[in-house]
Amino acid sequence: MAELEVAKHGKNVIHLMGKKEHELAHKLREIALEIAIIVFAVSMSIWLHGLSEHHHKQQEVKTFLLGLKGDLEADVRQLDNIKEGYRGFDANYAYLASLDPGRQPDWAKFKEAYAKSDANWYFIPVKSRYEGFLMSGRLTNIENEKLLTAILSLYQMQLPQIQTSEGGWSTRQRKLRDYREDQLEGDDEQSLFRVTTTPKGKRLLRDMNTTPQLYERYQSYIGQSQEIIKMIAEAYPAEKAR
């Protein structure tokens, strides 16, 4: 529509310049008016285009944030389960480390605990949506600076910290696993019990106790996620995560 107006008034300017029946001053006033109309039409077109583009970007931000809210809710549920899982691991390793090599254990309980001691559980966040929005360069379209900072802090700082702590736990478990493989002479319950109750075996089991730092980092991620969820819910109170 604006392009048609510009073309129309552009033709008027050319037409006025060619008229001979009007005085120069009159023609200049007419031309100036037509040029002013053209400038206004162009400016209005640019403003409307910018407004439309901004609206489109904010719709993309809205869709992203509502989806992210659902992703973080899933992450919080996963971390709550993982924390409980690690408490179970701690109790299991503590039981194995407490066994007296001179006393026969409850063999059914022992074998179950031994099998569980090889299990592990790591946090796998739902972050494909975040990574896609980040890689596309659209993350900076989030106009709420506090919310943007919180999201970046969560994924760029807190998540790597969790992965570092989980890596330390994994390294200790690998040492325990390697020791068992080196020392085991069979897979019968007596062999498993012997390697479990050696001084080194008991020390490696005690080392498997989850550090307070890992629990703290899980909880910090949960707290930050809940804060982001709250901010998104306040920004779009009538919407649900998609």
pLDDT of residue 32: 62
Looking at the fold, whether 28 and 98 belong to one and the same domain comes out as no
Q: 241 lies in a domain? A: no
Looking at the fold, whether 43 and 81 belong to one and the same domain comes out as no
Separation between Cα atoms, residue 62 and residue 56, nearest integer Å:
10
Domain that holds residue 212: 59-235
Looking at the fold, whether 64 and 40 belong to one and the same domain comes out as no
For the chain, the distance separating the N- and C-terminal CA atoms, rounded to the nearest angstrom, is: 36
pLDDT of residue 240: 54
pLDDT of residue 13: 47
Looking at the fold, whether 33 and 73 belong to one and the same domain comes out as no
Looking at the fold, whether 127 and 218 belong to one and the same domain comes out as yes
Per-run averaged pLDDT (10 residues), the chain, 242 residues: 49 51 57 62 60 75 95 97 96 97 94 94 95 92 94 96 96 96 90 96 96 96 97 85 42
- Going by the DSSP 8-state scheme, the letter that residue 141 receives in this structure is G
Residue with tokens 């924390």: 83
Q: 54 lies in a domain? A: no
Looking at the fold, whether 69 and 112 belong to one and the same domain comes out as yes
Q: 135 lies in a domain? A: yes
Residue with tokens 């890992």: 214
pLDDT of residue 55: 72
DSSP string, 218-237: HHHHHHHHHHHHHHHHHHST
Looking at the fold, whether 24 and 120 belong to one and the same domain comes out as no
pTM of structure: 0.77
SS (H, E, C) 27-92: HHHHHHHHHHHHHHHHHHHHHHHHHHHHHHHHHHHHHHHHHHHHHHHHHHHHHHHHHHHHHHHHHH
Question: Per residue in 202-222, is it b (16+ CB within 10 Å) or e — as a string?
Answer: bebbeebbbeeebbebbeebb
pLDDT of residue 38: 61
Structure tokens at 218: 């899980």
Nearest to 6 by CA among 43, 32, 51: 43
Structure tokens at 200: 């080194």
